Structure formats: structure tokens, C-alpha cells
Amino acid sequence: MSSLFPALTEGRTDGRTDRPALRFGDRSLTYGELGAASGALAARIGGAGRVAVWATPALETAVAVVAALEASIAAVPLNPKSGEKELGHILADSAPTLVLAAPGDELPPPLRDLARIDVDVRATGPVPHGEASVDDAPALVVYTSGTTGPPKGAVIPRRAVAATLDALADAWQWTGDDVLVHGLPLFHVHGLVLGILGPLRRGGSVRHLGRFTTEGVARELNAGATMLFGVPTMYHRIAQTLPDDPELAKALGRARLLVSGSAALPVHDHERIAAATGRRVIERYGMTETLMNTSVRADGEPRAGTVGVPLPGVELRLVEEDGSPITSYDSETVGEIQVRGPNLFTEYLNRPDATAAFTADGWFRTGDMAVRDPDGYVRIVGRKATDLIKSGGYKIGAGEIENALLEHPGVREAAVTGEPDADLGERIVAWIVPADPESPPTVAELADHVANRLAPHKRPRVVHHLASLPRNDMGKIMKRALTRD
Ligand code: MCA
Ligand code: AMP
């Protein structure tokens, strides 16, 4: 059976074990060192059930996930900034038997009750023997928000990881010679699957910035990195910085590939970057549940405002309201994107009800609305659910924030919406009826409350106070009627 990371085992036979694999700041691992460290850890965790990974942007996270994959154990990456409610839910739902963390990392209370293994990136255990096989067994459980309720754990099989990374290799001409740079978080698909497992599957390397800065991007691209991955907020910040930063322009001009994803990159930012650097950013479209579905190809036309064409192996169709697939592309007829292929997740953990997201014949309903150009390029034009907000590339359900706000003593009623934001794409706006109109809670108070319960990126940036929320006859909040008063 083929292996997820051939480069880890091949290096031993062709003597290329000293090739760089991972670099985080001034700490790095070669393929030989990664094989030894992950092999040693895999041997220690073998036979465990699911393992949680305290997914800081550090070498330890990458070693932990590779080790879990080698040990054929599903890894559950945790946002180290998760608040108590979110963390409590994820732990109760995924029931890990162990947590893997960097030595010295302090873990919050719910995790202290779990057995902990410190990840030693310098360990020299038995190197893997190619056990990281490609099959239907779960590789990762990644938590993703829905419109209501707490986040759902998408169970991502090993074959989906392999299929999506190989399809991207085809579309992007991505090889072991590529050096990727990014500063994405490692508890989501974008940063972890594409940004860490991607280079490792190709036998190439990744330099992680720890946190995204335009200086870090310029430094690494000027020092030989060939590819940059980012969310639109990062490219927006690059576009804002370019006029005053010739080093950054030079660095981007050198890159082989600049890739944006997780949300739409506005055409204005595309154009500013192209004008300043001579390079075009290409967009790809994916989801936690589906991994990657489409991309502008490296050898294709980089058409701003589109997410390109279906990746090899991915079937994609647009379906109208009445369920009929759109058969001719006119750049105008809008339908829901449905996808089918080896890149799909298998289920939401403990949520058989949510598998209604699949049609009887295996198509996954993405909830994204799109048109297609006559040559097949996909243009995303919106989302079915207004209660899903994309802020900084993070998907955030309005319902989970509303529930958290309602747990604040100063809030009697709450509704949450997304408002256009030049930097974040959308910003989270809370509309509340204060318990005491004389002393309503401040925006800072509610932001802290949500950040501590859920996660900082879910905090409201704006809070409006209302005497009552607009409701229809059924008592349902009419979000479209919410306007600033
Ligand atoms: C501010 N902070 C707070 C509070 N206020 N912390 C606690 N309580 C508060 N009240 C902290 C934040 O945690 C953060 O800390 C710092 O202040 C600044 O916060 P903020 O302005 O919100 O964010 P930012 O640092 O400017 O972040 C912008 C960003 C980020 C870097 C673009 O949004 C980001 O990394 N986005 C990536 C999302 C992503 O990877 N999505 C992929 C999922 P500190 O500075 O210490 O962090 S989508 C996916 O995977 C699919 C498959 C796909 O298609 O890709
Ligand atoms: P998540 O569930 O966090 O993985 O986010 C997936 C969602 O991000 C998709 O359903 C899309 O709505 C959105 N998305 C991802 N990539 C793009 C893109 N290039 N353009 C527009 N939306 C995107």
C-alpha cells in the first residue's frame, strides 16, 4: 500500500535524509530528523484512540500530526486560543485518549485531566517503515462551524488528504523542489493539510512564520521560498504594504506561485498586487469537509474573481433551487456547488443527522452559490446561509456567538450578523437587547466574553444596542431587518 509521506522513508534509501523538511523560526528538521522524531513518537502513541494535538504554530505540532498519521491514529488539532466552552465541547465530542503538546506549553484545565505526551522533536526512535498508508481510515478530525450550535468534527480520511494534495500538485506543478512560506494557523485544513502535510507529501519544505507578517513573507521569498499560501486578509495586508515596501514587491515578483484561499480575494486586491509585482495571485476553493475542489491552474489563465476549474478527480456541479443540475454555463445562472470525489470527508463525528449534507448518490452540498463561465471557470457569488460568517478566513457560525452572548448577564436578546470589512472580509456584528438599558455591556466586555468562551477570532468587533429585535410572526429574528439605528 502506498504511503502518505514517501519522502520520509525514501530518504533512508537514497541518502537524502539531510534535505530540509520543516522550519519554524530558527528551529528546523531535515527529513531524517523528522522521520526519527515522528517515528519515536508514533511508537509511543501506537494503539491509542484519537489524539488531541495542541496546535501551536511550532515544529511540535507538525511532528505530532505526522506521528499520529504514522501510527494510524486520528489527530484532533486544537486551537490553542480556544475558549473554555469551545474546548470543552471538542474534547467531549472527540474523546481523545491523549494530548500531544510542546514541552513547557501550559494547557488549560479541561486538558489537564488527559494523559499528556510532550513532543520531543529531537527524539531518535525507530524511523517509520511506510506505515502512513493511504486508505479510508480517519486521518484528522477538524472542527468547523455550522449556522447553529457548537462546531462539528469533520472526519477526514487519509485518502482524502492524499487525493487533494496530489490533485494540487498536478494543478500547481508542485514538486519536492518547492519551498513554501506561510503564517497560517495549524488547526485548520488550510495551514495544516495544505501548508504542512502538502510540502511533506511532495518531499519539499515549508518555512512557517509563526505569525503572519509582510516582513516575514518578504524575507523568506527573497531567501529562496517559491510559494506563498495565505487567506485574503493576508493578501489584503500585502496589497496595503506594497506601495511603501519595494523589498516586498521584489520578493513577490520572484515567487513561483502566490495562492489565496479560505474566502474570496477581492478583485481590487488582485489588481493592486499584480500592478506592484507583475505576479498574479491564484485562488483555489475548498472546505474543511471537502478539502480542495477547484483551483486556477499554474498553467491556466489566472482570472481574478474566479476559483478556477475542478481539480483532477473532483466532480463538480451547480444545482438549481429545484434540484436540477445546470448543464450549460453562461456566467449568469446561479446554482449551489455540489461536489463528489475522493477528497471528501466521511462524516461529522457523532452527528448522523448532519449527514443530510450528502445527497443519496454521494454529492456533498457545499452551501456555496456560484456561476460558471462558458469555459468552466467557477465564480463563487455567495452562500446559501446568511448565518455563516467568514472573518479573516475563519468560518464562524452566527448561532454559536449568539448562544455565547446570551450567557452574558448583561444580554437579554442577541443576534449576530456579518458586515463587509476591507481587512477581514466580514466583521462580526452583535445586535443585543441589554438586560439593563441604563448600563449595557461594552463592546470590550462582550468581545472578552466571547473570546474567553469560544475563541478570539469569534469575538464581535461592533455591538449595537436595541430596545427589541425585529421578529416575524413566528418569533424568528429577521436579520435582514437589522440596521444601524
Ligand atoms: C484581540 N485579541 C484578543 C482580544 N482582542 N484576544 C483575546 N480577547 C480579546 N478580546 C488578540 C487576538 O487573539 C490576536 O492575538 C490579536 O489580538 C489580534 O487579533 P485580530 O485582529 O483578530 O487578528 P489578526 O492577528 O489580525 O489576524 C488576522 C489573520 C487571522 C492573521 C488573517 O485572521 C488568521 O490567521 N486567519 C487565518 C484563518 C484560516 O487559516 N482559515 C482557514 C480555515 P495574536 O496576535 O496573539 O494571535 S478555511 C479552510 O481551512 C478551508 C479548507 C479553506 O478553503 O482554506
Ligand atoms: P471552512 O469550512 O472554514 O473550511 O470554509 C469553507 C468555505 O470557505 C467554503 O464553503 C467557501 O464559502 C469559503 N471559501 C474557501 N475558499 C474560497 C475562495 N477561494 N473563494 C471564496 N470562498 C472560499
With bands split at pLDDT 50, 70 and 90, how would you rate the model's confidence at 270?
very high
Q: Pick the residue whose CA is nearest to atom 28 on ligand 1.
A: 392
**pLDDT 10s digits, 342-397:** 999 999 999 988 877 898 899 999 999 999 999 999 999 999 998 999 999 999 99
205 vs 218: CA distance, rounded Å: 17
CATH architecture of 6-190: 3-Layer(aba) Sandwich (3.40)
72 falls in which pLDDT band (50, 70, 90)? Answer: very high
Rounded Cα gap, residues 29 and 21, in angstroms = 6
Nearest CA to ligand 2 atom 20: 264
Say what the pLDDT of residue 229 is. Answer: 98
Q: Tell which one of 142, 293, 316, 380 to mutate to probe ligand 2, the residue whose CB is within 8 A of the most ligand atoms.
A: 380
Q: Cα(237)–Cα(272) distance, rounded to whole angstroms?
A: 11
Specify the ligand 1 atom closest to the Cα of 234.
Answer: 32
Going from the Cα of 118 to the center of ligand 2, the distance in angstroms, rounded, reads 33
* Residue ranges of domains in the chain: 6-190, 388-481
pLDDT at res. 355: 74
**Cβ–Cβ under 8 Å, residues 251 and 222:** yes
Give per-residue pLDDT as tens, 173-229.
Answer: 999 999 999 999 999 999 999 999 999 999 999 999 999 999 999 999 999 999 999
Ligand nearest to the CA of 396: 2
| Predicted confidence (pLDDT) at residue 485 exceeds the cutoff of 70 | no
pTM for the model: 0.96
Q: Which residues contact 205 (CB under 8 A, 6 or more apart)?
A: 19, 20, 21, 22, 23, 179, 180, 199
288 lines ligand 2 (CB under 6 A): yes
pLDDT tens digits for range 463-481: 999 999 999 998 899 998 8
Torsions phi, psi for 373 (to 5 deg): -70, 160
Percent of the chain whose pLDDT exceeds 90: 88
Pull the grid cell for residue 118: 510532550
Question: What is the average per-residue pLDDT within 147-176?
Answer: 96
What is d(CA 78, CA 82) in angstroms, rounded to the nearest whole number? 7
Sole residue written with cell 444545482: 319
State the pLDDT at residue 460: 98
Q: Which residues of 24-62 are buried (b: 16+ CB within 10 A; e: fewer)?
A: beeebbbbbbbbbbbbbbbebbeebebbbbbbbbbbbbb
C-beta neighbour count of 225 within 10 angstroms: 23
CA dist 187 → 76, 284, 346 (Å) = 8, 19, 19
What is the spatial distance between Cα 338 and Cα 359, in angstroms, rounded to a whole number?
A: 9
- Reply yes or no on whether the pLDDT at 127 is more than 80: no
> Ligand 2 centroid to 114 CA: how many Å?
33
What pLDDT is attached to residue 8?
Answer: 87
Residue 179's pLDDT is 98
Ligand 1: distance of its center to the CA of 72 in Å?
31
- Model confidence at 129, pLDDT cuts 50, 70, 90, reads low
Tell the CATH superfamily of the 388-481 domain. ANL, C-terminal domain (3.30.300.30)
Look at residue 57 in the predicted model and tell me its pLDDT. Answer: 98
Count the neighbouring beta carbons within 10 Å of the beta carbon of residue 85.
Answer: 18
- Chain segment 14-63, per-residue pLDDT in tens: 667 899 999 999 999 999 999 999 999 999 998 889 999 999 999 999 99
Q: Which three cell numbers stand for residue 326?
A: 445546470
Please provide the average confidence, as pLDDT, over all residues in the chain.
95
Three-class SS of residue 352?
A: helix
The C-alpha cell of 169 is what?
500538485
The 3-state DSSP class for residue 322 equals coil
Phi, psi of 16 (to 5 degrees): -100, 30
Pairing mode of beta strands 115-118, 138-144: unpaired
CA of 154 to the centre of ligand 2 (A): 15
Q: Is there a contact between 122 and 39 (Cβ–Cβ < 8 Å)? A: no
When pLDDT is cut at 50, 70 and 90, the band that residue 148 belongs to is confident
Nearest atom of ligand 1 to the alpha carbon of 447: 10
> Tell me: the pLDDT tens digits for 80-112?
999 999 999 999 999 999 999 999 999 999 899
Residue 366: alpha-carbon gap to chain centroid: 15
Q: How far is the CA of 347 from the centre of ligand 1 (A)?
A: 27
Quick one: average pLDDT of 153-159?
97
Q: How many Cβ atoms are within 10 Å of 407's Cβ, its own excluded?
A: 12
Please tell me the residue having the least CA distance from ligand 2 atom 7: 287
DSSP-assigned beta bridge partners for residue 316: 339
pLDDT digits (tens, 9 = 90+) for 385-428: 989 999 999 999 999 999 999 999 999 999 999 999 999 999 99
Percent of the chain beyond pLDDT 70?
A: 97
Best probe residue, ligand 2, of 192, 285, 309 (max atoms within 8 Å of C-beta): 285
pLDDT at residue 483 is higher than 80: no
Q: Give the three cell numbers for residue 381.
A: 457569488
* Grid cell in block for residue 3: 504511503
